């Protein structure tokens, strides 16, 4: 097996954008490893529109959006291997993978970009009591069956969780002839985008019940009924609030988990909040030369931001290889999250290693109104922006000018916080 300077694990939106950007930055020796039978990742099953408004200033479907990047990768002549599963990533960046044609093989790249995406939280991890019959699917599994294979997983549906895939599938199942009876959400707010609640639930008269969860699943062979109940402030079901729905299907959209099994096997440090790697401003993980981008790093709301982030990872990986794979020692400013800011990506900035700007992405832990997002270098406020509404379902972005950081040499840390507007 010939060696490559950069191996990108994952050929979804993150991997594709990273590959194209690394190539544009001058790196020519790149290989994408994709476990599915085509490039594009989960976008291939997202046949609804609404993708690409930021990137292409037009509304594309998921496959169309992926298609733009796939075409770019093909035009650039970047090689990729499909149906190829990476089995192990070692701390020295040895990649062990396999497929039908090459069998079991190893690669020893100079740099690696982690772009494995995320997976859905299944019923088991939610510990929902009741029977375990057929008819319980994660929203994404149902989406694959309906959108890629044309099969109906059920006719009368209850959805638990108001993540974006669940909302999209509420509409899809309705359009395909199923009756979606209710969407129950454990939290007092939705985890999905506002526009999806309007366009996928409200427009079809599907009720969204906040602070509700599934307390029982009936059906020995196939789902026969689902009981939901309201929960108290500690998320415990309130007796007497049960509502039973006869149905044959329960779809789950209860959160996405970055797929970091390979990162873990390599010894990449993970952030317990995001379940993704901790990265610096260059999207470089705790292992020099190993970068991460997209949903493997933290779950995004819009694919446009995945592409943007992955592009940056691609450029940084190219720069790392171009500089002879040396990581210079620079002062790093750790980022502290306060007042409802749950996490930031990156977790630290090295002003001397950063370009003109650094993009900070984060999510908040609750719904907030009339706040401002403020960033401090030490005690000095270097950024502030009013936000009329902040919600956990929407990712926040702050672009920091690096010279504001270098202008505060006394600062030994950065704080991102919410303040009263």
List of residues contacting other proteins (CB under 8 A)? 35, 83, 85, 87, 98-105, 119-120, 122-125, 127, 129-135, 138, 140-141, 144-146, 149-155, 176-178, 215-218, 220-222, 237, 248
Shortest reach from residue 201's CB to other proteins, in Å: 20
Cβ within 8 Å of residue 129, ≥6 positions away: 215, 216, 217
- How distant is the alpha carbon of residue 174 from its chain centre? 26
C-alpha torsion 92→97→102→104, nearest 10: 90
Instruction: Tell me how far CA of residue 97 lies from CA of 1, 100, 258, in angstroms.
Output: 11, 11, 20
Query: For other proteins, which is the closer residue by CB, 184 or 215?
Result: 215
Query: For other proteins, which is the closer residue by CB, 90 or 98?
Result: 98
Cβ within 8 Å of residue 413, ≥6 positions away: 333, 334, 335, 336, 378
Query: For other proteins, which is the closer residue by CB, 175 or 322?
Result: 175
Report the Cα–Cα distance between both ends of the chain, in Å, rounded. 58
Shortest reach from residue 321's CB to other proteins, in Å: 27
* Cα–Cα distance measured from residue 337 to residue 420, given in angstroms and rounded to the nearest whole number: 16
Shortest reach from residue 55's CB to other proteins, in Å: 27
Query: For other proteins, which is the closer residue by CB, 289 or 294?
Result: 294
Shortest reach from residue 341's CB to other proteins, in Å: 23
Q: Left if phi > 0, otherwise alpha if psi is -120 to 50, otherwise beta: which for 196?
A: alpha
* Cα–Cα distance measured from residue 276 to residue 380, given in angstroms and rounded to the nearest whole number: 29
Shortest reach from residue 380's CB to other proteins, in Å: 39
Say if residue 300 is exposed, middle or buried (CB neighbours under 10 Å; 0-12, 13-18, 19+): buried
Query: For other proteins, which is the closer residue by CB, 101 or 403?
Result: 101
Cβ atoms 1, 98 nearer than 8 A: no
Shortest reach from residue 256's CB to other proteins, in Å: 11
Shortest reach from residue 78's CB to other proteins, in Å: 23
* Cα–Cα distance measured from residue 258 to residue 253, given in angstroms and rounded to the nearest whole number: 15
Shortest reach from residue 143's CB to other proteins, in Å: 10
- Please provide the size of the chain in residues: 421
Buried b (16+ CB within 10 A) or exposed e, 267-281: ebebbebbbbbbbbb
SS3 182: strand
Query: For other proteins, which is the closer residue by CB, 20 or 178?
Result: 178
Query: For other proteins, which is the closer residue by CB, 141 or 271?
Result: 141
DSSP designation for 199: I
- How distant is the alpha carbon of residue 193 from its chain centre? 14
Query: For other proteins, which is the closer residue by CB, 43 or 411?
Result: 43
Residue 2 CB neighbour total at 10 angstroms: 7
Shortest reach from residue 84's CB to other proteins, in Å: 9
* Cα–Cα distance measured from residue 86 to residue 116, given in angstroms and rounded to the nearest whole number: 10
Query: For other proteins, which is the closer residue by CB, 93 or 350?
Result: 93
Shortest reach from residue 165's CB to other proteins, in Å: 11
Query: For other proteins, which is the closer residue by CB, 116 or 167?
Result: 116
Q: Which of 280, 320, 261 has its CA nearest to residue 114?
A: 261
């Amino acid at each position: 097996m010939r060696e490559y300077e950069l191996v990108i694990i994952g050929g979804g939106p993150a991997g594709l954008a990273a590959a194209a950007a690394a190539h544009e930055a001058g790196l020519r020796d790149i290989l994408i490893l994709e476990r599915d039978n085509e490039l594009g990742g989960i976008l291939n099953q997202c046949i609804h529109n609404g993708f690409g408004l930021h990137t292409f200033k037009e509304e594309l479907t998921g496959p169309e959006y992926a298609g733009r990047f796939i075409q770019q990768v093909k035009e650039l002549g970047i090689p990729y291997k499909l149906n190829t599963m990476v089995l192990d990533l070692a701390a020295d960046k040895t990649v062990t993978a396999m497929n039908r044609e090459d069998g079991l093989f190893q690669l020893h790249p100079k740099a690696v970009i982690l772009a494995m995406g995320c997976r859905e939280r299944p019923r088991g991890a939610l510990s929902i009591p009741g029977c375990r019959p057929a008819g319980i699917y994660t929203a994404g599994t149902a989406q694959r069956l309906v959108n890629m294979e044309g099969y109906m997983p059920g006719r009368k549906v209850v959805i638990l969780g108001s993540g974006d895939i669940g909302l999209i599938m509420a509409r899809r199942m309705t359009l395909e002839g199923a009756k979606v009876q209710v969407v129950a959400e454990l939290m007092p707010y939705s985890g999905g985008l506002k526009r999806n609640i309007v366009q996928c639930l409200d427009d079809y008269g599907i009720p969204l019940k906040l602070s509700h969860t599934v307390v029982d699943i009936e059906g020995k062979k196939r789902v026969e009924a689902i009981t939901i109940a309201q929960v108290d402030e500690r998320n415990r079901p309130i007796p007497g609030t049960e509502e039973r729905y006869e149905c044959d299907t329960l779809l789950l959209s209860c959160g996405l988990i970055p797929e970091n099994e390979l990162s873990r096997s390599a010894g990449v440090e993970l952030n317990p909040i995001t379940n993704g790697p901790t990265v610096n401003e260059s999207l470089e993980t705790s292992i020099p030369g190993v970068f991460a981008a997209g949903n493997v790093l933290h779950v995004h709301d819009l694919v446009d931001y995945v592409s943007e982030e992955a592009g940056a990872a691609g450029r940084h990986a190219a720069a790392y290889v171009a500089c002879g794979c040396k990581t210079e020692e620079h002062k790093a400013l750790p980022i502290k999250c306060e007042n409802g800011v749950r996490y930031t990506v990156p977790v630290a900035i090295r002003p001397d290693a950063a370009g003109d700007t650094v993009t900070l992405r984060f999510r908040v832990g609750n719904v907030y109104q009339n706040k401002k997002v403020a960033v401090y270098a030490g005690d000095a406020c270097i950024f502030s922006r009013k936000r009329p509404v902040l919600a956990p379902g929407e990712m926040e972005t702050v672009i920091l000018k690096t010279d504001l950081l270098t202008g505060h040499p006394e600062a030994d840390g950065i704080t991102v916080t919410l303040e009263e507007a």
